[in-house]
Amino acid sequence: MFNRMGHLCLSLSALALAATTGCGLDDGGAQIVVFSTHHATPEDGIFPDKGLDDKPRIFTNDLGWEVTLLESYITIESVTVVSCDEAEYPLDMFWGPCPEDLRAEDLNVLTVAGTKLPAGDYCELWVDYGPYVTPVVDEGTATRHETPSSPEVLGSTAFFDGGARIDVDGDALPFELRADGQARVVLSLRSIDEGFALHVGDKENFPLELTISKTYDRFFDGIDFANYDPEALEANLLNLVDDQTRVNLGTRVAMDEE
């Protein structure tokens, strides 16, 4: 599609961060883009490094177990924005289900979804976690979501492969955990913008941005790896992901010391 100046007006899925002036906003409203990221629990006012890019994540749970995640994925299946008058706006998943690799660099954002919203106030963001399926992509169309190399991720909503040890000089106890169900996380937008709901004006010069963040080093709190029920933990994995999912205005993650 070309605008009146004759320049190519890129779709949001091709250029999610582009300014939208001249790209079909004449009837009001704005594009919204949702990103996803992950991090460890803040320490002394900073986000600590628990692993380099494309390397295992290593952290200690609240019972003193050192946990190493050799592989770790969480899949976002869909995202919906809900207005304060309860109208639902499903977002376009730009490249299908988003299998977020927790070994990717902490706090780097991954583009997930977006759409155009009419002017108004928005009070909720629904994040649906679900089983990963490889999307069908037209030949010649690039995808930003790298296909997981492990076949175990296919059909998994959350997948963790690693080990844990209580003694740094001892051997790690291996584990492989997966959840294949669906879970909807309802995140409030009612006070996200300096105490006010997310507002979309009649005219916005740039896309609005929200970032879904997950605190991965809290997933295994309360787990004694010498004496636990793997099936019970698998059944509870999506509840743990729900508990540690937050939404942030913009692409920077707010510090949460709670």
Which tens digit of pLDDT belongs to each residue from 208-220?
Answer: 999 999 999 999 9
Q: What is the mean pLDDT of residues 74-84?
A: 98
CB 160 within 8 A of CB 71: yes
Strands (E), 142-203: 158-165, 173-179, 183-188, 198-200
**What pTM does this model have?**
0.86
3-state secondary structure 42-88: CECCECCCCCCCCCCEEEECCCCCEEEEEEEEEEEEEEEEEECCCCE
Residue 139 has a pLDDT of: 64
Q: What is the mean pLDDT of residues 51-73?
A: 97
pLDDT band at 253 (very low <50, low <70, confident <90, very high): very high
| Phi, psi of 152, deg, nearest 5 | -70, -20
Domain ranges, ordered by start, for the chain: 30-137+144-249
Residue 146 has a pLDDT of: 85
Q: Is the predicted pLDDT of residue 120 greater than 70, yes or no?
A: yes
Residue 27 has a pLDDT of: 63
**CA Rg value for the chain:** 20
Which tens digit of pLDDT belongs to each residue from 140-163?
Answer: 666 678 889 889 999 999 999 999
Q: What is the mean pLDDT of residues 109-121?
A: 96
User: What value does the mean pLDDT of the chain take?
Assistant: 88
Residue 197 has a pLDDT of: 97
Q: Is the predicted pLDDT of residue 13 greater than 60, yes or no?
A: no
Tokens, residue 90: 């499903």
pLDDT band at 7 (very low <50, low <70, confident <90, very high): very low
